[in-house]
Amino acid sequence: MARQRARIRGLREGDACTKYFHLQACHRRRKNYLFAVTHNGQTFSEEEAKADIVFSYYNDLLSSAFVRQHRIDLSQLQIPQLDLSELVAPFLLEEVAQIVHESPTDTVPGPDGFNGAFFWAAWEVVSPDVVRVFHALWEIDFRSFHSLNGAIMVLLHKTVAPTGLRDYRPISLIHSIGKMFANSPHHVKNDF
């Protein structure tokens, strides 16, 4: 009940220019602001320097290539073959609608500002565009997906008093279309 009351108050006063809104925004900003970042014994306090060091640290960490040491030849195990032809078929409108309606409605919106509740409520209006996006992803037609490829990265404290970038956990807020596509039952194409 407390969660519902807080949600109702947030809906009533959260988007309006009220004292409640400004108190919440100031509190979140103070709580989440990184005044200085320590990395390799150096402390960075200028905004541009902090952004550069955080970007390079996580870019190096997340973009390192994985080299497989061993391979398993599954054909030698004589496992029965399954008919997976349905996994390479294009998406149907009903499948995309099912994916949208199974998406959680109370998640945090990503860079696009939408969550599952929006797509659920506006499905009649947005369904042709969402289905078109799913078809483009299935056909590996990525010409206009540069904006969907972006994400907002948020750093969460792992410890009470973080001393370096290793003491933060990066959380990536991706676009809602990417979330839905990742949750689709057959987002794998036969050449992957």
- Paired with 156 in beta bridges are 169
Q: What's the confidence (pLDDT) of residue 189?
A: 43
Using only C-alpha atoms, the chain has a radius of gyration, in whole angstroms, of 22
What is the pLDDT confidence band of residue 67, given thresholds at 50, 70 and 90?
confident
% of the chain with per-residue pLDDT over 90: 6
* pLDDT class of 185 with cuts at 50, 70, 90: low
Q: At 128, is the pLDDT very low, low, confident or very high (cuts 50, 70, 90)?
A: very high
Predicted confidence (pLDDT) at residue 9 exceeds the cutoff of 50: yes
pLDDT score at 179: 81
- Which CA distances in Å does 79 have to 10, 149, 189? 54, 37, 21
Q: What are phi and psi of 152, to 5 degrees?
A: -105, 125
Predicted model pTM? 0.58
